[in-house]
Every structure is written in structure tokens, then in C-alpha cells.
Amino acid sequence: MEATEPKDAAQVLQPVLTPRALATTGITVFPVAVDGSVFGWAAGIEHTLEVLDAFVGGGGQLISTADHYAGGRSEVMIGTWLARRGVRDKVLLATKIGRHPDNPGLSPRSVTNAVEASLERFGTDRIDVLSFDGDHPETPVDETLEAADALLRAGKIRFLGETGYSTARLREIHRIASTAAYPTFQVALSPYNLLERVFVEQELAPVVRELGMSLIARLPLADGYLTGNYRTRDMLPDSVMFAGAFRHIGRKGNKVLAALEQVAQEQSRSLATIALAWVLAKPGVTAAAVRARGADQLHELLAATEVQLTRQQMAALDAASA
């Protein structure tokens, strides 16, 4: 279905979305990324190939996963797709390290071994964005950054990112990296959606802007709750990885869904499309990483880049989710 034109063109918040700069890397990225956490768990190989084909066919570039997702099978499936399609130079590969049981933490040895293992699973010679998955203070940060610097100089990684760090820790690491000429974080990944706003809006986004980083929003549909499919606790998801949706069942969740339904009706779009469009319209968001278990779900979410929310619609969603 096509989006309806707002009655007052002056009220359009932004035009149809175009690629956005990824921090200071010189790279621009399509504003919807793929979250590979479903691959190897909620999506088998055929559905994985289907989603990734649809993603690249729709203009997508950034594929984000982690070395511990499905015990490494997510990276293997992405690597299988890369090998079959021969599209490595058309995509940006992002993965997270620090939580795989074979290479836990961020010691120099773990960082080096984790990257080598991910490269083997992907079947590639480089990772575009390597993120540290959670703070691991048991290892001095300069040791971790020195290991990452060696990998960067070897061409095995291109840029660094993080997820799960406090803003105070981000500033500290940036200071250490700048002083010692180590690579700094270019990307921050964090949950951000209509039901999880406070940390990003009040703490993370200002620091990301201050440090010249890019923000990649994770879980923009709140574990699937914002699709409207899980309104009561007897509406069981078909995969345990979406069980987090149940956290949002209640008065606030219902209020947000009601606002989404109103805007979705006005725009002739699905709730999921509007929920994602709201995230992408927020200042400071470079891209949002979405979970999709099939091409139909992926196309529904890619449609968010075509949505022009009015100021009144944004204000209604803001108010419902405050």
C-alpha cells in the first residue's frame, strides 16, 4: 500500500530517507540494517538467504550480528550467503565480540582469536565494524585497544563500535584512545524504540554527538511488541527470542499501540512500519537494525524509509510513549 500524502505539506517532518553518514568513516549507509540475531535460531538457512537477498535488493548494506549469536551459526549463515551471491563488496559486515564462550572477554588474546574465528565463519578477509559487546573492565582498555589497533593495521577490521557501555565509560575510553592514538569508537549500538527511550535520548545520544559517533538503534520494534502481535500473555511468540515483548504488555504498551494504530491508519501502513519510521525520524539515529525471518517481513520494514511522518504524528507518538 502506498503512503497517503499529508494534507499540509509544510507539516512533513522530513523527506523520503536517503543514506546517512557513518560517523567520520567516509561511508554512507542505508538507514535500515539487518539484525542477524535471528539467523541460525528463529530463521533457518533458506529464510536467511531470502532475507539477505531482499535486503540487498532493497538497497540495504549494513548486516549486524555477533560472534555468539546461535553459537556462531549466524555468522556462518551470513558467510554462506556471501559465498553464494558474491556480494561482499556491496555490503558492510558488522559483528560483536566479547561473549562467545570460546573467546570470552576483551583480553588481547580473546580479541585476536575472536576476530580470526569470525573471519573464518564469514569466509571473508575483513570485518567492517567490530564492536565490543559490553564493558569488560577486568582487562585494561589500552590492552584491548592495542589489540584492535593491530587488527586494524592488518586490514582485518576497519572501524570500532560498542554496545552496553555507560556514557562515562565511553568518554573515558575516548580520552584514552585519543591520547595514545588508538582507534576510537565510531559506532554505538543500543536498544531504542517507542517503549525504550530514556537511556538513548537523555544519556547516550548527547555523548554520541559529542564524540562524533553514529548511533545504530537495536530492537526498534521492542522485541516484536510494536507489531501488535503480542497484546496479551496468552499470545505466545513462536520463538523464545521474542519473549521480551511480554515486558511491555500493560497500560503504557496499550497506549503506544493505540497511537501507532491511529498513525498507521492515516499512513495506510502497518504498525511495524510506523514504529520503525518513528525511530528513523529521530535526530541522531543513523540506522536501525531490524529482525526479519522472511522477505515479506523485511519488505514491510524497508517501507519505513518511504514514510513521511507529519509533525503532528511524531508528536502523538512521542506523547503516547513518554
Q: How far apart are CA 191 and CA 197, in angstroms?
A: 8
How high does pLDDT run on average in the chain? 92
Domain range list for the chain: 9-321
- Residue 252 host element (H or E): helix 251-267
pLDDT class of 14 with cuts at 50, 70, 90: very low
Q: What is the pLDDT of residues 147-204, one digit of tens each?
A: 999 999 999 999 999 999 999 999 999 999 999 999 999 999 999 999 999 999 999 9
- DSSP state letter for 12: B
Phi/psi for 158 (5° steps) reads -110, -45
The residues pairing with 290 across neighbouring beta strands, listed in sequence order, are: 34
Q: What is the pLDDT of residues 206-261, one digit of tens each?
A: 999 999 999 999 999 999 999 988 766 666 556 555 666 668 788 999 999 999 99
Least confident of 6-15, 62-71, 137-146, 239-248: 6-15
- pLDDT at position 84 is 96
Q: How far apart are CA 274 and CA 102, in angstroms?
A: 40
pLDDT class of 13 with cuts at 50, 70, 90: very low
Q: What is the pLDDT of residues 297-308, one digit of tens each?
A: 999 999 999 999
Non-local (6+) Cβ contacts of 171 within 8 A are: 207, 211
Q: How far apart are CA 57 and CA 17, in angstroms?
A: 17
pTM for the structure as a whole: 0.92
* pLDDT exceeds cutoff 90 at 42: no
- Residue 160 host element (H or E): strand 157-163
Name the CATH superfamily housing domain 9-321: NADP-dependent oxidoreductase domain (3.20.20.100)
